[in-house]
Amino acid sequence: MSSTWRDLVARARGEWIRWKLYARSLGRVQIGSGFRAFGPVEVIGQGRITIGRNVTVDRDPFGARAVSLQTQGSRDAQIEIGDEVSLLGTHISCGQRVVVQRKAWIEDARIMDSDFHETGASSERKTLSVASAVEVTIGEGAMIAGRAMVLKGAKIGAGATVRPGSIVLREAPDFLTVVGYPARVERVAVPGPPLAATAGEKRDPANNKDSKPK
Amino acid sequence: MPWRGFLKDPLSYSWVPQYLTGYLRGAVIRARYALDRRVEIGSGFVVEGPFKICGEGRVRIGHGVKVRRSNTYPVCIRTLAPDAQVTIGDGSELGGVQILCGKEVILGERTLAANCRIQDTDFANLELDKWPGSVRTGKGVWLGLTSILLKGAEVGDWAIVAAGSVVERAVEGLALAMGNPARPIRGVFS
């Protein structure tokens, strides 16, 4: 009952945010129908933002961060978010193009498609630059956990999982799990219980059929 | 009105009233959870910043735990299942710690932790992570700034986890672990 009530409130808030952003940005932020907002959405910049249908937006699991969609540099920057995506306190900074395909689940990760500054003399570093921007793509049904970073040129495959705290620089293959800095494919690729759990079962003499009582 | 300015400007606090309000807030929060069976809080509880517990799992906080203030994150303990259990040992000091628990998180006595995240599931939704593991740390562990403990992390007594590292395996006692994923650094304390 309470969840239905929360859902109704989120839908109403989503509808309000949808029209407010559309009007304020003069049509550059377009959000599809069925948008549910359990928390606020911060939109910064002059770029184009397209959000599909039935997207859910929330704060991160600890209520600390809100979703922030930032387009930097010029009006050509573009964020595309597909249908049924869930964003939980996600930060997306975009200099060129960030694509999130449908059914992705992104927790409080950061997604940046540019370094936003040039290397060189300090005067050059200070100004914003999106010259180094490379498109970032997040595949269908991908899951990105909290405190992860997806940096420029990264490509996350369909159904891939990015574990908490990992930093993705290049590519996460389809349906595999990546972890670490730089993010590499985790050895346990087959879906199943984690290695530690399996090892514990084997060590348990009651479960082990190979060991014979003496 | 001088009183309003006193409340607004944090620099005008001397450490003495802040110290006292920490004890006061801790006592208030402890009283609030006194009738709640899921949450047990020990004596001498100090809360100096934002602190919240959410979810329906069990939370046990030992005696003399201090919740410090962080400028980055509020301290938050979130359980995702009714049988999830979070235990925080006696005399721990937590600042900006975020705990996400689907099954079991145990922090030992006298843990020092700053801005770190401890989670035994990868995602905040147990439907997305079918096998929540467990996180255990021993006595006197120092978890550095912005470090992350993932499921399967077991940190031994008096070990140090360096700032920004991600632990997903066992770390021996009296060792320094750093990196992402974290590896032990040898010969530091020997």
Q: Which two tokens stand for residue A176?
A: 């595999």
The Cα angle at residue B106 between residues B103 and B112, in degrees rounded to 5: 140
Stretches in chain A below the pLDDT threshold 70? 1-2, 188-214
For the segment B16-26, the average pLDDT, to the nearest whole number, is 81
Inter-chain CB proximity A196 and B168 less than 8 Å: no
Residues A54/A78, Cβ–Cβ less than 8 Å: no
CB atoms B119 and A164 under 8 Å: yes
Contacts B133 to A, Cβ<8 Å: 194, 196-197
**Is B148 part of the contact surface with chain A (CB cutoff 8 Å)?**
yes
B122 Cβ under 8 Å from any chain A Cβ: yes
Residue numbers of the domain that contains B67: 2-185
CB contact under 8 A, B124 and A88: yes
- For chain B, positions 8-27, list CB contacts with chain A under 8 A: none
CA distance B51 to chain A (A): 10
- Output the average pLDDT for chain B: 89
For residue B190, what pLDDT is reported? Answer: 62
Please name the helix (run of DSSP H) or strand (run of DSSP E) that holds residue B67, with its range, or none.
Answer: strand B66-68
Nearest CA distance, B181 vs chain A (angstrom): 5
* Number of domains, chain B: 1
Alpha carbon distance B62, B92 (integer Å)? 8
Task: Give pLDDT, residue B21.
Answer: 87
User: Is the minimum CB–CB distance between B73 and chain A shorter than 8 Å?
Assistant: yes
Whether residue A60 contacts residue A33, with contact meaning beta carbons closer than 8 Å, is answered with: no
Domains in chain A with CATH codes: 41-203 (2.160.10.10)
Name chain A contacts of B146, Cβ cutoff 8 Å.
147
Q: How large a percentage of chain B has pLDDT more than 90?
A: 76
Domain of residue B104, CATH code: 2.160.10.10
Q: What is the pLDDT of residues A153-192, one digit of tens each?
A: 999 999 999 999 999 999 999 999 999 999 999 876 455 5
For residue A214, the model assigns a pLDDT of 42
Q: Is the pLDDT of residue B70 over 60?
A: yes
Q: Look at B100 and A193 and tell me if their CB atoms are within 8 Å.
A: no
- Give domain status of residue B190, yes or no: no
Q: How far is CA A174 from CA A54, A142, A157, A178, in A?
A: 24, 9, 4, 10
Task: Say if A182 is an interface residue toward chain B (CB within 8 Å).
Answer: no
Residue B11 has pLDDT above 60, yes or no: no
pLDDT for residue A211: 40
The H-or-E segment that residue A200 falls in is helix A195-203
Nearest to A71 by CA among A97, A51, A90: A97
Query: What is the percentage of chain B residues whose pLDDT exceeds 70?
Result: 89
pLDDT band at B13; cut points 50, 70, 90: low
Residue B64, in any domain of the structure: yes
Q: What pLDDT is recorded for position A2?
A: 60
Within a domain: B139: yes
Q: State how far residue A48 is from chain B, nearest Cα, in angstroms.
A: 29
Candidates A84, A91, A163, A185, partner chain B, best to mutate (most B CBs within 10 A)? A163
pLDDT at A196: 52
Residues B186 and B190: their CA atoms lie apart, in Å, by 8
A109 touches chain B (CB under 8 A): no
**Residue in A63, A107, A179 closest to B76 by CB:** A63
